[in-house]
Amino acid sequence: MKITLNSVRNDSLRLPAAAALLAVLLGSSACRKNPAPAATDPLLKAYDVEPDWNDPQHIIPLNYEQAQGKRVFYADCVWCHADSTPAGPSNRSNVTPTPSLMNDGAKLNGLSNEYMRNIIALGGEAMGKSSMMPPWGRTLTQEEIQAVIAYARGIAQPPYQPPARTGPAYSEK
C-alpha cells in the first residue's frame, strides 16, 4: 500500500475520534442508570388494538397472535360475525341462523378452543350445525385459525377466562 499524506492524516485522526465515540457511549449508558419508571399502560406494548364493540371508549390491547387474528377476522369473518364492516353494513342480518357476534362472550366463552377450531376448520355442517358457516380448513392455516380464536377471546364481552383445566380434545362444546 502506498502511504499518502492523506491516509496518514486519517489514521492520526482515528484514535481521538474513537475516544470521543467511547465517551458518548459511556455517557449515554450512564444516563440509563436512572430509567424512567416502567410504563404500565398495556396499550403501549400492544401490537394492535380493537375498540370494544359495545363501548368504543374502551380500547382493548391485542397481543401479537390476536393482532394476526384480527387481520383474518376482517378479511374472512366480519361479513357474517359483526354488525358493521369497514366497508359499511355487514351481511349478518341476512344470514339464517344469525351468526354470533365474534365478541359475544356470553355465547362463545362457553365453547372450548377445540370446538372453535373444529367448527372454523370443518364448517357448520360437519359439526351438526348450519352449512351457512363455511369450512375454512383449506383457506386458512392452523396458525391463522388459532389466531382468530385468540382474537375472539381477546375482544369477548364479558371477558373470556381460560379454563383451569383443558377439556377433552373432541368435546361436543
By CB under 6 A, what part of segment 70-109 binds ligand HEC? 72, 76-77, 79-81, 95, 97, 99-100, 107
- Least Å distance, CB 152 to ligand HEC, is 7
Nearer to ligand HEC, 11 or 83 (CB): 83
By CB under 6 A, what part of segment 123-152 binds ligand HEC? 124, 129-130, 132-134, 136, 148
Nearer to ligand HEC, 60 or 135 (CB): 135
**78: Cβ contacts below 8 Å, ≥ 6 apart:** 85, 86, 90
The rounded distance, in Å, linking the Cα atoms of 118 and 115 is 5
Helix (H, G, I), strand (E, B) or coil at 124: coil
**121: Cβ contacts below 8 Å, ≥ 6 apart:** 135, 136, 137, 140, 142, 145
Nearer to ligand HEC, 67 or 148 (CB): 148
